[in-house]
């Protein structure tokens, strides 16, 4: 069971990073350039479209991690897409992409599909190519589709919990939301989905974003010795979700990041750092968080705002995580570099 969930989460992590990195890296930069170079809008639209391919990428990568056959892998991808809710039928009868779907339900459906195709095995022999895709739609796909409303509602309840916390006084609220989003970004739940469901904006969005920054920067530093430089940077430029498997197996690896998130969240409440529902889910990826703060801050690109942005989004996350990782690894001996090892081969 432990090995099953390890492979499932590893496959989900890879799919999430591959689907979200293009828009995370280019999205905000393209928004700045498009008024001067209108042709770039096509590139921006494509990166958004690629994000909606997240469910099928999760399904395929889960199939790859389980070393399924090509037919089985493709069938898991189909089932995961059905259970994701990322495709909707319009009133005109057309089918349209609908965001990235409900990530946690995508993972549940992918897991059911893997169990289903493994159960079938080689029983269908030469009829596999005819029956496995269809049966994967009828059984795990439709089960995931039936679960979708309930999982979406549960995700909404989580969002309402976060919204309730925002009604508290700024410092405590900031610390709590930052920690919550630091945890969510390391789980199968979509931070963008939660933030969008409750339309988390203002200070709530700003501190949520810093919680993700704390996770990304901290995990990049902690994982550097166990992984390549590119993989370490993927925590910041891509998503900290690539550590989802390691975090679920060993939650203690996130202690330094959670403490950093709490400090940054409280500070953000004092400094009135704001954001949008979109920026709440991306951290430093594509500079979404910092650029949204500057755009919403009174005065825009003033020296004071730039100083606050650099301090909260870059300097403090690095200093705090470095200090806390040293304490937890060298003094308390609770974590070690190998705890953050990622294997994408």
Tell me the per-residue pLDDT of 74-99, one tens digit each, with 9 for 90 and over.
Answer: 999 999 999 988 888 888 888 888 77
Residues 250-281: pLDDT tens digits? 999 999 999 999 999 999 988 989 887 667 77
The whole-number average pLDDT for the span 183-187 is 89
Same domain, yes or no: 211 and 126? no
In this prediction, residue 72 has a pLDDT band, given cuts at 50, 70 and 90, of very high
The share of the chain scoring above pLDDT 90, in percent, equals 42
**Residue 97, beta-bridge partner list:** 87
Specify the pLDDT at position 254.
94
pLDDT band at 23 (very low <50, low <70, confident <90, very high): confident
Are 102 and 141 members of one domain?
A: yes
Domain boundary among 154, 188, 217: 154
Whether residue 13 has pLDDT greater than 80? no
- The burial of 334, by beta-carbon neighbours within 10 Å (0-12 exposed, 13-18 middle, 19 or more buried), is given as middle
Same domain, 214 and 172: yes
Q: Which of 154, 187, 208 is the last residue of a domain?
A: 154
Residue at token pair 């999205």: 27
> Considering the domain boundaries, does residue 296 fall inside one?
yes
- Tell me what pLDDT residue 159 has: 65
**One domain, residues 308 and 206:** yes
- Count how many residues are written for the chain: 345
Among candidate residues 102, 121, 154, the one where a domain is terminated: 154
Question: Would you state the structure tokens that stand for residue 310, as one six-digit string?
Answer: 């650099």
- The count of structural domains within the chain is 2
Are the CB atoms for 90 and 77 separated by under 8 Å? no
pTM: 0.71
d(C-alpha 147, C-alpha 112), whole Å: 12
- 291 and 182 in one domain? yes
Same domain, 51 and 114: yes
Given the structure tokens 């700003």, which residue do they identify? 206
How many Å apart are CA 73 and CA 344, to the nearest integer?
17
Domain carrying residue 290: 166-345
| Cβ-based neighbours of 250, under 8 Å, separated by 6 or more | 339
Q: Are 234 and 151 in contact (CB under 8 A)?
A: no
Whose tokens are 């996130």? That residue is 254
165-202 core/surface letters (b: 16 or more CB in 10 A; e: else): bbeeebeebbbbbbbbbbbbbbbbbbbbbbbbbbebbe
Least confident of 68-82, 101-115, 136-150, 192-206: 192-206
With respect to residue 205, please indicate whether it lies within any of the assigned structural domains. yes
pLDDT band for position 198 (cuts 50, 70, 90)? low
């Amino acid at each position: 069971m432990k090995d099953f969930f390890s492979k499932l989460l590893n496959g989900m992590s890879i799919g999430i990073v591959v689907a979200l990195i293009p828009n995370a890296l280019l999205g905000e930069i393209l928004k700045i350039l498009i008024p001067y170079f209108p042709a770039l809008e096509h590139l921006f639209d494509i990166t958004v479209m690629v994000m909606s391919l997240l469910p099928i990428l999760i399904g395929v990568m889960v199939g790859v991690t389980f070393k399924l056959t090509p037919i089985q892998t493709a069938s898991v991808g189909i089932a995961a897409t059905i259970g994701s809710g990322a495709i909707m039928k319009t009133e005109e009868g057309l089918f349209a992409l609908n965001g990235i779907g409900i990530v946690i339900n995508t993972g549940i459906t992918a897991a059911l599909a893997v169990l289903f195709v493994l159960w079938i095995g080689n029983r269908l022999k030469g009829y596999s190519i005819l029956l496995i895709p269809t049966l994967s739609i009828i059984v795990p796909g439709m089960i995931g589709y039936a679960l979708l409303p309930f999982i979406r509602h549960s995700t909404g309840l989580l969002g309402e919990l976060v919204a309730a916390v925002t009604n508290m006084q700024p410092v405590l609220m900031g610390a709590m939301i930052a920690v919550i989003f630091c945890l969510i970004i390391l789980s199968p739940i979509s931070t963008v989905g939660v933030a969008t469901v409750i339309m988390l904006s203002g200070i709530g969005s700003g501190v949520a974003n810093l919680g993700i920054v704390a996770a990304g920067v901290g995990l990049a530093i902690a994982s550097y010795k166990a992984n390549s430089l590119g993989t370490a940077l993927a925590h910041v430029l891509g998503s900290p979700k690539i550590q989802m498997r390691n975090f679920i197996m060993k939650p203690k690896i996130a202690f330094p990041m959670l403490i950093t998130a709490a400090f940054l969240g409280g500070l953000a409440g004092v400094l009135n750092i704001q954001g949008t529902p979109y920026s709440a889910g991306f951290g430093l990826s594509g500079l979404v968080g910092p650029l949204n703060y500057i755009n919403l801050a009174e005065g825009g690109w003033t020296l004071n705002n730039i100083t606050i942005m650099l301090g909260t989004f870059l300097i403090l996350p690095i200093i705090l995580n470095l200090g806390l990782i040293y304490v937890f690894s060298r003094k308390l001996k609770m974590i070690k570099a190998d705890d953050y090892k990622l294997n994408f081969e």
